[in-house]
Amino acid sequence: MQQFLTLDDLPSLSEAVNEAIELKKNPFAFKSLGNQKNLGMLFFNPSLRTRLSSQKAAQLLGLKTMIMNFSNEAWALEFEDGTQMSGLRSEHIKEAAAVVSQYCDMVGIRAFASLNSKENDENEIVLKSFIKYASIPVINMESATAHPLQALADAITIKEKNKVKRPKIVLTWAPHPKALPHAVGNSFVRMANNIDCDLVIAQPKGYELNPLIIGDNTIVYSQEEALEGADFVYAKNWCSYSDYGKILKTDDTWMITAKKMKLTNNARFMHCLPIRRNIVASDDVLDSNNSLIIEQANNRTYSAQLVLKKILENG
């Protein structure tokens, strides 16, 4: 594998999930694969799980890591070609990406959607500029439109915990006080469309994801109706896509509660974290034995390890 920008870069999602589960059983099996190589990680946005799980995954493979918070430690980057750099941006991506490529053998980039411009976000300017000007493999550590490391960890978790032949999985929109990007929802839908399951997207009207992501997936506008018989409930907030970046609903009627979980087939609860308690889901859901949120976070290590291993094996 030469890069990891979306789940489509994996040769096979099901084989990747199986291989990651094997890595989890024997995490030091490839402890010398990354010897004398390093992974650079550039964060334009905050992180707990992605940063630490990717660092741990790298260490399990013998890789060294170099980490930089670009938002407050690096020179502000210019991405426009041909611009006269008389403003606040001190360094052009052309030099920055070329320089990073000399120091690192591969680079992970975290750069969220701005939610100011749908066009700019969909063009993935930060990620694509690094791909254009770097000469090393690029790994998506959550971009404007995708979070494939999270989706791979979620696929691992579902495979480990599923008890039925073909699970019903509900991806449900949930409330949040801030406008959040679509990356997690997008990648979750892409992932679920590549595993053996029945996916239902539950959301209030106006919160439809990008039509290219929705495809022919089922959307249900009643959360209670969607939850009936569910085996997995994945809660996530995202802002409006059609009225880009806007919050359309502010009440708590879509919060996941223990009462709502009773409508399901004793479903396991999932969320990528961080989660706002008693906003997205109530304490009694998050603290129940059916919650998988900590196990999902644990699987971020093996998701990242699988991706780094595939890139290292490519040479």
Identify whether the C-beta of residue 155 lies closer than 8 Å to the C-beta of residue 191. yes
The CB-of-50 to ligand CP minimum distance in angstroms stands at 3
Tokens of 258: 């223990």
State the residue number with the nearest CB to ligand CP: 50
Residues within the interface to ligand CP (CB under 6 A): 47-50, 142, 150, 272-274
For ligand CP, give the closer residue by CB, 150 or 305: 150
The CB-of-294 to ligand CP minimum distance in angstroms stands at 12
The CB-of-46 to ligand CP minimum distance in angstroms stands at 7
Identify whether the C-beta of residue 222 lies closer than 8 Å to the C-beta of residue 151. no
The CB-of-147 to ligand CP minimum distance in angstroms stands at 6
Longest dimension (CA), the chain: 61
For ligand CP, give the closer residue by CB, 48 or 164: 48
Identify whether the C-beta of residue 149 lies closer than 8 Å to the C-beta of residue 181. no
Peptide bond before 11: cis, by omega within 30 degrees of 0?
Answer: no
The CB-of-102 to ligand CP minimum distance in angstroms stands at 27
For ligand CP, give the closer residue by CB, 215 or 274: 274
Q: Given phi > 0 = left and psi -120 to 50 = alpha, else beta, which region is 146?
A: beta
Q: Reduced to 3 DSSP states, what percent helix, strand and coil does the chain have, rounded to the nearest 5?
A: 35, 15, 45
For ligand CP, give the closer residue by CB, 1 or 272: 272
For ligand CP, give the closer residue by CB, 184 or 256: 184
